[in-house]
Structure 1
Amino acid sequence: MGQKNACQIGIEAYGDASALRMFEQEVPPPAPGEVQIRQSAVGVNFVDIYFRSGLHRLPQLPGVLGVEAAGVVAALGAGVSGWQVGERVAYAGLPSGSYTNLRNVPAQSLVRLPSAVSEETAAAALLRGATSYMLLHRVRETKPGDTVLVHAAAGGLGLILVQWAKALGARVIGTVGTPAKAALARAHGLDQAVLYRDEDFVEAAREFGGGAGVDFAVDGIGGATLRRTLGAVKPFGMVASIGAAEGAIEPIALDEIGPARSIALARPSVLGMIKRDIGAYQLAAQQVFERIEAGLHVEVGERLPLNEAAQAHRQMESGQTTGSVILIP
């Protein structure tokens, strides 16, 4: 089996979306324990923007972006069992490098796609769904009657998180930027939408939770929003900080969490969970696909060619997107 060429999108230096470049790279046959994937859909996640900008560092430069994709098994490395050429698969996790049409990945990172789950749906949902599983089952076990605040409720993660929490019996309030996004989030089960530019989400969340606040808040916005979110949670509730789309998170002193508030602040990482606990990753993927088969809707708001990855980043950074964004190699 000889070398094959791949088209990749990555960076030579950290920067804004204009830093993205297309590379043509030879892909060797898969090494022992690896599987070669011919990719048909690539998920675009905000963590890709963190790696592009330098907020998170790549192992080396030049480097290829992306932590999620789906496609078909093209070749098997020595010692790989349980997989066949032609099978439909997806994967998520580090190291980055999924912005490509052809890639070798460790066999243990693969998950098999059920017949009811398309490759585009898998690329749009695997990492976001695994994040929802992590948040609602491992970070804080969500129970019927719980109240949950979801920031960016009309985004790719937000829409999945809203549906998942609702399926567990929670009541969910979410922040959105426009009336159209509010309508989309409500169509996915959101109980109350807060137009954060016009309304005080802290006050709305406190009222939604019965006056004292919600049980659980999920913040991927960062910046000054995380500190404000602390005030939206009731005593002995929890805030999970999972991103910084707005910018660097302002320092928070322990006294801002307790004893006056008596709340918990978590900083979980789904990429960390995948890296450290392959069993949790496989279980999360299974849960994601089972929920999709049971009716969870994966909204793909934007499909762009792989070579338009810069446009995908610009749209996400400007808040123009709804649902998930995927690239088509």
Structure 2
Amino acid sequence: MAATARTVIIEEHGGPEKLKLADLPVGEPGPGEIRIRHAACGLNFIDCYQRSGLYPMTLPHALGMEAAGIVEAVGEGVSHLAAGDRAAYAAMPPGAYTEARVMPAAQVCKLPEGIPFEEGAAMMLKGMTVQYLFHRTTPLKAGDTVLFHAAAGGVGLIACQWAKSEGIRLIGTAGSDEKCALALEHGADACINYATEDWVAQVRDLTGGKGVDAVMDSVGKATFEGSLDCLKPLGMMMSFGNASGAVEAFNLGLLAQKGSLKVTRPTLFTHIADHDACQEMAATLFSKVLAGEVKIRIDQRFPLEDVAEAHRVLEARRTTGQTILTLS
């Protein structure tokens, strides 16, 4: 093993220019840990939130929440993985933007042979997010209708396919006609260009005035109030991201006025904190991919040293599908 690994760190919060490449020692895994050598790393909006300080961290700190590669060594007490295993993960603490690392083993999952490393690196955080949105947040069944914002993004394209595979009608929104076409291609029943259309009125029209059973919203501030107006009585609002900024404080009484609505602000890391739950969620995701029900579309690849540009492109919403960092 190499004694050091190229690793992306920040020493202070701020813009993409704060990202630095450093050679950090790797070391040996302790109890409950593994050492993994990455083949590729995933890129996610949470990485931008941590870099900017929206989600503050103790600094200096490495960044990155998901990757895939080969397990090089396991520490005492690790039984679900062994040296030589193919593996992928979405997990805390941040530090996935690296060639190799030592990390807790509990949320690392054995990657099936039929799934390439790049797909494994691109899908874990987003795919398990879709799993908990559809399976662990509110009861959803075939015939239900959901509104999904940013339907052509990394999470969105997985969600479009996931919904179709389970007979759930998905109405998407996206920021251009091209992105809407991409969502439709991946299984959305309809997709609304929120830049040119009154998407709230369109959702009401598409549901015959009834509204949707659930909204899945990673956009945040810009779409929150409109999303509430798209829900049917007793509907569930799942606000799981802040791409446009954090949702502002609001009068809880609005939920009663709009039909006894429910609101939740979930995070993936609460759902996967339990080892068994994490492994089960990953197994569901893997089965969808292996069955061809969900295809992982990687539209952007950046070398590790170009991570700052990758962040700029992601934050400018110039991406579709998944984005990964490659390791030469």
TM-score band by shorter chain is: over 0.9
1:39 maps to 2:35 = no
Partners of 2:16 and 2:167 in 1: CA distance: 40
Residues 100-122 of structure 1 show CA distances to partners (whole Å, capped at 9, x for unaligned) of 01011222222111111111111
**Secondary structure at 1:257 match in 2:** helix
Partner in structure 1 of residue 263 of structure 2: 265
Partner in structure 2 of residue 121 of structure 1: 119
Partner in structure 2 of residue 67 of structure 1: 65
Partner in structure 1 of residue 284 of structure 2: 287
Counterpart AA for 1:189: G
Partner in structure 1 of residue 326 of structure 2: 328
Aligned with 2:142 (options 141, 144, 149): 144
Kept in 2, the 8 Å contact 1:124–1:298? The answer is yes
Partners of 1:119 and 1:161 in 2: CA distance: 21
Partners of 2:271 and 2:79 in 1: CA distance: 24
Partner in structure 1 of residue 104 of structure 2: 106
Query: Which sits farther off after the overlay, 248-257 or 36-45?
Result: 248-257
Partner in structure 1 of residue 82 of structure 2: 84
Q: What runs of 5+ residues in structure 2 fail to find an aligned partner? A: none
Counterpart AA for 1:297: K
Partners of 1:260 and 1:97 in 2: CA distance: 42
1:29 maps to 2:28 = yes
Kept in 1, the 8 Å contact 2:62–2:94? The answer is yes
Q: Tell me the matched-pair count.
A: 326
Equivalence map 1:1-329=2 (5 Å): 4-58=3-57, 60-275=58-273, 277-295=274-292, 296-329=294-327
Distance 1:79 1:147, change over 3 A: closer
**Superposed displacement of residue 17, structure 1:** 0.9
Kept in 2, the 8 Å contact 1:39–1:102? The answer is yes
Partners of 2:164 and 2:25 in 1: CA distance: 46
**Secondary structure at 2:46 match in 1:** helix
Partners of 2:258 and 2:326 in 1: CA distance: 50
Partners of 2:85 and 2:258 in 1: CA distance: 55
Q: What runs of 5+ residues in structure 1 fail to find an aligned partner? A: none
Partners of 1:3 and 1:310 in 2: CA distance: 25
Counterpart AA for 1:290: S
Distance 1:171 1:180, change over 3 A: same
Residues 41-77 of structure 1 show CA distances to partners (whole Å, capped at 9, x for unaligned) of 111110011100101122x211011111100011222
Partners of 1:157 and 1:37 in 2: CA distance: 25
Partners of 2:167 and 2:208 in 1: CA distance: 17
Partners of 2:246 and 2:9 in 1: CA distance: 23
Partners of 1:251 and 1:315 in 2: CA distance: 29
**Superposed displacement of residue 9, structure 1:** 0.6
Counterpart AA for 1:308: D
Q: TM-score, normalised by structure 1?
A: 0.96
Counterpart AA for 1:13: E
Counterpart AA for 1:156: G
**Superposed displacement of residue 33, structure 1:** 2.1
Counterpart AA for 1:24: D
Partners of 1:290 and 1:188 in 2: CA distance: 18
Kept in 2, the 8 Å contact 1:5–1:24? The answer is yes
Output the aligned Cα RMSD. Answer: 1.3
Kept in 2, the 8 Å contact 1:227–1:250? The answer is no
Q: TM-score, normalised by structure 2?
A: 0.96
Kept in 2, the 8 Å contact 1:142–1:165? The answer is no
Counterpart AA for 2:208: G
Partners of 1:10 and 1:223 in 2: CA distance: 28
Distance 1:32 1:316, change over 3 A: same
Partners of 2:95 and 2:284 in 1: CA distance: 25
Partners of 2:265 and 2:110 in 1: CA distance: 29
Kept in 1, the 8 Å contact 2:69–2:117? The answer is yes
**Superposed displacement of residue 242, structure 1:** 0.4
